[in-house]
Structure 1
Amino acid sequence: MCTDPAGNVFVADDVNHLIRKFDPKTREVSTLLGRGKIKLKQPHGVAWEKGKLYVVDSSNHCILRVE
């Protein structure tokens, strides 16, 4: 789990293979990654660094950078 400078919270949902985003201003939860073109397999970690979100995708053996 991590946050960005705007206070959004990003969570690696490894059971459902998704990255979720919680917006504290609207109190809405949305799916950021895992549906559509990018398929995740057991994402276990997220980190925010210099305007980018990094996702550890364990079963795919990779780290994704989202800009």
Structure 2
Amino acid sequence: MNLELMRRFRDVMGSDDEDRARAMVDEVRNFARTFDPTITYPEGATISVILMKMTRDQRGETENR
């Protein structure tokens, strides 16, 4: 995954800023579409949720699972 995108994703995750979160879902989806152009908005959101869970697991966070 793009390192700069992941850095921004981590910054936005948990920020309680819905506009930034929505924009990040779009960025993740657009990045994923470079591999598979058929990815839909809901699938992009699912990818974002999976990335969020992976990031929390890496940090050792367990709340909101």
Higher helix share: 2
Higher strand share: 1
- TM-score band w.r.t. shorter chain: under 0.3
